[in-house]
Structure 1
């Protein structure tokens, strides 16, 4: 008898959620039912630094993320939602120094940081209050240059950073975080 009540509960819940004017999903997306498409322009690498394929990698992963985590169709241009931007920062910097030991006594980099910054513009053609222009998204990866140097691990660090920036862009544009 209890399973019969559960079945009715879920059926009622399903109809309530479908009747709402805003689409609901368990990923936290808040997109109106009229929004069906998104166009994502190529994000160019304006820094001239980083792996040569970073712009293409970022753009393709951004499109894939939207496809996996929303019901939106990707269109070349003129989507209900529009996203464009560029990679505006790619910088490796020193984070900490360790004192030399033994006969060496030469200070060494103990930690370095790779930071990538992306600037994005988002347009929601149905709800201008959701728009943002030239918003900066940045993330970093700290690493030990002595055990995991940038030149040997750059792609892994770039992958980790891009993944986080894409999540931030997704949350800011369609999850309203």
Structure 2
């Protein structure tokens, strides 16, 4: 018996997936169908977005009073993944890693996947992420009031995007 998978079969399966967070292929598409514009997906998210993601993870870690090792332990991740997320703008973490961080920080997974560059970001996310990154990055210990305010505003934005 020969199994034949046609283009039509893939198109039907894609329609059934709808707005699921996990998909097959290159980057998953997250925006609602009416928001989708024709664009070329690439494996590389803009470096400023990845820098913002790294800054966000670091700030969340600091807010919780966690060392890199403790965060990795709580999220069941390799320490090297956490370090690379925080320090290497060229590093794109696996979706599982981003999912574990979202769970650990109790944040919307869909928004975290977009912020990490694993899915196409909804309009406005990059602007908010870069604004957050510009306002964060103080001392390596306790967050300043300004950093806490920026973190709270960005978390509220991410949670609003989930709905």
Structure number with higher strand proportion: 1
**TM-score, scaled to structure 2:** 0.28
* Greater share of helix: 2
Structure ranking higher on relative contact order (CA contacts 8 Å, 6+ apart):
2
